[in-house]
């Protein structure tokens, strides 16, 4: 599949439409949302500007990227909703908020959540009602809706609501939907628990799911069993980011309200991904997930950060950074790198409160597999590794090469695009086995490898070389330790306790 998908990616059109169908509205009668104008600035990529959507009770505004072609942008209203085509589907839980650490409205998964869903019709219903009891969903917040035009897959009608002011480590029940009073249409009731603000917290970490959806499903079953507080994914969830049908298939695998409410993770556990090369920064790839972004920054949702437990998480979409030529990043990448420098500086100064810095991006910065010497990978290495050195990043987690491997502690070499210096520095992890087709391990051996590597076999068949069909991991953070535990997914197992432990790494607070 590698050659075919690469060919298709090269043929994808650049989605560069102007937003149309924008609208603004007064605050909803439920008091859920206030909003400014729908024109959030004229610069390419969206923002900086006043913002289209300002959630009530939140100190930030959001403006979708203006070059994605989103249509019919509208705030929640009480227009008619079909009792069949207006039923919310594939309800997912993401994170909203600002991207300036320490600034107003900075993203916080302990107190903030974003709810995104689809409907078969283009209505303007965008409400969430929630509470700490399934029988008392007394709080109501409103959001906005939009349509993503058809590309390789069908057009989709999207709805999103952001909620702030939640309590850390608290379980909430909710429904999404809305419509005219007396004729509202709601989803099934789901629940989620906000991230604790202190103590030991466990996160799910895995990447590259794009080929076998049943492996992706099994990984999420493990995440549910392990009770992770939040999941972060460094890209390539689907094979073609412009094909909405793939998103629907992959999301259906982890969301099933017909199964007596036995949801897996979608809408139950917060998922915060960043785009990989297969998402290709398409309109669908941005529409399907909510990650921190605010109206004051260009190219929203191509970079984000947040604090969770004792960890400062950073997500960087490296698609534009990978286009750096002779050390000169393109304009979007320059802006991303400027933001990253400031964010890591703030995080490094905050080690007392959040002692660990973990960065996720897609391309394997230091790999010994298929993409080890690709020009785009080396371009990303040249830009990111020096910043990681400068601010003492503890852990960098990538995907792209479909395997698991861990580097020795590394500093960037001279030049930074070349071989690194071993002995101290950031540890680089490639964790890309949540459904992607397998690559050979150690096909490009290098002295910077720790020797901790693991391959897996394709599909659901047993392989003679490797006992696993996928790879996933958890990251457990305390005030003094950060421990990554890596598992190999066995085709016959139904529990993480039956899977194999591939690796374990503990980093001490600096």
- Looking at the domain 2-508, which fold is it? Purple Acid Phosphatase; chain A, domain 2 (3.60.21)
Tokens standing for residue 201: 């917290």
pLDDT at 19 (0 to 100) = 31
Q: How many CB atoms lie within 10 A of CB 248?
A: 18
Q: Are 467 and 476 in contact (CB under 8 A)?
A: no
pLDDT at 260 (0 to 100) = 66
pLDDT at 262 (0 to 100) = 78
Buried b (16+ CB within 10 A) or exposed e, 277-293: bbbbbbbbbbbbbbbbb
**Helix H or strand E encompassing 348:** helix 331-348
pLDDT at 510 (0 to 100) = 84
Domain ranges of the chain: 2-508
**Eight-class DSSP state of 89:** E
Q: How many CB atoms lie within 10 A of CB 37?
A: 13
Q: What three-state secondary structure class fits 338? A: helix
For residue 167, give the nearest of 189, 196, 133 by alpha carbon: 196
Nearest-angstrom CA–CA distance, 229 and 309: 10
Buried b (16+ CB within 10 A) or exposed e, 261-274: eebbbbbbbbbbbb
Do the strands 303-308 and 270-273 form a parallel or antiparallel pair, or are they unpaired? Answer: unpaired
Nearest-angstrom CA–CA distance, 83 and 77: 16
In the predicted model, residues of the chain with pLDDT beneath 70 are 1-50, 260-261, 459-462
pLDDT, tens digit, 9 for 90 and up, residues 137-155: 999 999 999 999 999 999 9
For residue 27, give the nearest of 60, 47, 53, 59 by alpha carbon: 53
Vertex 418 angle, CA 413 and 422, to 5°: 40
pLDDT at 459 (0 to 100) = 58
């Amino acid at each position: 599949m590698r050659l075919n998908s690469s060919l298709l990616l090269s043929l994808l059109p650049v989605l560069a439409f102007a937003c149309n169908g924008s609208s603004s509205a007064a605050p909803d009668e439920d008091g859920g949302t206030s909003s400014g104008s729908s024109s959030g600035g004229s610069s390419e990529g969206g923002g900086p500007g006043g913002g289209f959507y300002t959630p009530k009770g939140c100190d930030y505004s959001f403006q979708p990227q203006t070059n994605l072609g989103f249509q019919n942008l509208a705030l929640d209203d009480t227009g008619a909703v079909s009792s069949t085509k207006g039923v919310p589907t594939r309800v997912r839980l993401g994170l909203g908020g600002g991207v300036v650490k320490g600034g107003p409205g900075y993203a916080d998964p302990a107190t903030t959540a974003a709810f995104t869903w689809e409907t078969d019709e283009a209505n303007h219903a965008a409400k969430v009602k929630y509470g700490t009891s399934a029988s008392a969903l007394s709080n109501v917040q409103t959001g906005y809706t939009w349509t993503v035009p058809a590309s390789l897959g069908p057009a989709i009608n999207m709805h999103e609501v952001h909620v702030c002011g939640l309590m850390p480590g608290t379980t909430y029940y909710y429904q999404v939907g809305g419509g005219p009073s007396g004729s509202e249409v709601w989803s099934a009731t789901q629940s989620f628990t906000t991230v604790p603000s202190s103590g030991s917290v466990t996160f799910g970490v895995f990447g590259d799911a794009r080929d076998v959806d049943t492996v992706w499903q099994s990984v999420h079953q493990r995440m549910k069993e392990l009770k992770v507080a939040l999941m972060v994914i460094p890209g390539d969830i689907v094979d073609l980011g412009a094909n909405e049908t793939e998103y629907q298939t992959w999301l259906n695998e982890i969301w099933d309200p017909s199964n007596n409410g036995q949801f897996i993770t979608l809408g139950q556990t917060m998922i915060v991904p960043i785009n990989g090369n297969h998402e290709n920064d398409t309109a669908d790839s941005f529409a399907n997930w909510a990650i921190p972004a605010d109206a004051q920054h260009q190219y929203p949702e191509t970079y984000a950060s947040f604090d969770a437990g004792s960890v400062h998480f950073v997500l960087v979409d490296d698609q534009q950074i990978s286009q750096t030529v002779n050390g000169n990043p393109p304009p979007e990448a320059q802006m991303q790198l400027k933001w990253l420098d400031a964010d890591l500086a703030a995080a490094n100064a905050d080690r007392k409160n959040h002692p660990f810095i973990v960065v996720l991006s897609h391309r394997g910065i230091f790999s010994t597999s298929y993409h080890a010497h690709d020009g785009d990978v080396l371009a990303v290495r040249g830009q990111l590794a020096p910043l990681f050195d400068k601010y003492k990043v503890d852990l960098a987690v990538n995907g792209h090469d479909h395997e698991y491997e861990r580097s020795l502690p590394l500093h960037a070499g001279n030049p930074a695009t070349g071989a690194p210096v071993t002995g101290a520095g950031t540890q680089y992890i490639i964790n890309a086995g949540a459904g992607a087709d397998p690559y050979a391990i150690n096909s490009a051996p290098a002295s910077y490898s720790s020797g901790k590597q693991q391959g897996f076999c394709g599909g659901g068949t047993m392989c003679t070389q490797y006992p696993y069909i996928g790879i996933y991991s958890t990251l457990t953070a305390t005030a003094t330790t950060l421990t990554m535990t890596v598992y190999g997914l066995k085709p016959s197992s139904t529990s993480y306790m039956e899977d194999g432990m591939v690796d374990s790494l503990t980093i001490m607070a600096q």
